[in-house]
Amino acid sequence: MTDPRLVLTLRDGVARLVLRRPEKRNALDATMVDALLPLCREIERSAARVLIVTGEGGKSFCAGGDIAGWSALSPEAFGQHWVRDGHAAFDALARLTVPVIAVLNGQTLGGGLELAACADLRIAEAHVMIGQPEPGLGIIPGWSGTQRAVRRFGAQAVRRMALCGEVLSAEAALQLGIVDQVVPEGAGLAAAEVVAARVLARSPAATSLTKMLINAAEGEERERVLEALAGRIAAASPDLQEGLAAHRHKRPPEY
């Protein structure tokens, strides 16, 4: 599934994913959410070694979920599809084995902040405003806005945004550890390219393995990480080749 409002490009090992819906402040609707999961698979299977995510237009990184879309859903459809499908897509982004850099170049609200939380590093332009407005609308932050966001930003920061409705400036977000760097307006992508170059200068295998271990330490897909790492070790073992050869020749393996 593809969506022209999610644009993925790859050049010299750096993938770039752009949310291209500026007329709606890059808000995500169901079709965009559905398209994000296969894009993550495409990134994982490509030559990309780092991913930069940003929004088009300079006014909004992502204003969250499209209210007109989700507000029309029944409670059953909201829980079974909107929330669950969003989790699946965002989990895939957070669990990419390549580092992910989010360039927050405008409003980063609700689902937009949950999208940013999937990144390993967040670069905020100085004019950015960050918040979790969902409880003010009578709904919860549903795309891991109380789970991954707490793990990555700390519970108190999430309390201030979600319970008290505080909207944070880029500098306030930096002090709370929500973003890693603040740059002038319009300078986010250039700053991300500098960080991407640092990633490219390091061992691809070691970087990938290290990210997986950090995710596991953080409680992100711990079981899958352990089995993936063990699978790599087993696949590199001479035992695998002997086992496959024995299977092909219908003989007992000689380990």
Choose between 233 and 16: higher pLDDT. Answer: 16
Is the distance from CB of 186 to CB of 58 less than 8 angstroms? yes
Helix axis angle, 84-94 to 30-44, nearest 10°: 30
Task: Please give the pLDDT value at position 225.
Answer: 84
**Token pair of 71 as six digits:** 């507000």
- Is the pLDDT at 129 greater than 80, yes or no? yes
Measure CA of the first residue to CA of the last residue in the chain; give whole Å: 45
pLDDT of residue 88: 94
pLDDT given for residue 232 in this prediction? 84
- Tell me what pLDDT residue 141 has: 93
pLDDT (mean) for 128-147: 93
Q: Express each pLDDT in 187-208 by its tens digit.
A: 999 999 999 999 999 999 999 9
The pLDDT score that the predictor gives to residue 73 is 81
In contact, 165 and 136? CB cutoff 8 Å: yes
DSSP code string of the chain: ---TTEEEEEETTEEEEEE--GGGTT-B-HHHHHHHHHHHHHHHTSS-SEEEEEESSSSEEE--B-HHHHTTS-HHHIIIIIIHHHHHHHHHHHT-SS-EEEEE-SEEETHHHHHHHTSSEEEEETT-EEE--GGGGT---TTTTTTHHHHHH-HHHHIIIIIT-PPEEHHHHHHHTS-SEEE-TT-HHHHHHHHHHHHHTS-HHHHHHHHHHHHHHTTSSHHHHHHHHHHHHHHTSHHHHHHHHHHHHTS----
pLDDT higher than 80, residue 1: no
Q: What is the pTM of this model?
A: 0.92
Name the active-site residue from 56, 125, 134, 220. 134
223 assigned to active site? no
Residue 67 scores a pLDDT above 90: no
Q: Residues 78-106: pLDDT tens digits?
A: 888 888 899 999 999 999 999 999 999 99
Q: Does residue 193 carry a catalytic annotation?
A: no
Torsion sign over Cα 95, 215, 28, 116: negative
> What value does the mean pLDDT of the chain take?
94
204-214 mean pLDDT: 95
Residue 6: is it exposed, middle or buried by C-beta count within 10 angstroms (0-12/13-18/19+)? buried
pLDDT at residue 229, as a whole number: 84
**Token couple for 114:** 């949950």
Residue 38 confidence (pLDDT): 96
Cβ neighbours around 150 below 10 Å, total: 17
Tokens of 182: 């603040």
* Phi, then psi, of 184 in degrees rounded to 5: -60, 155
Of 56, 114, 125, 220, the catalytic one is 114
Mean pLDDT of 125-140: 95
Q: Does 110 have pLDDT greater than 90?
A: yes
Question: For residue 198, is it left (φ>0), alpha (ψ between -120 and 50) or beta?
Answer: alpha
pLDDT per residue over 23-37, tens digit each? 999 999 999 999 999
Q: Each residue of 216-227: b (16+ CB within 10 Å) or e? A: beeebbeeebee
Of the listed ranges 3-12, 155-164, 231-240, the least confidently predicted one is 231-240
pLDDT of 6 > 90? The answer is yes
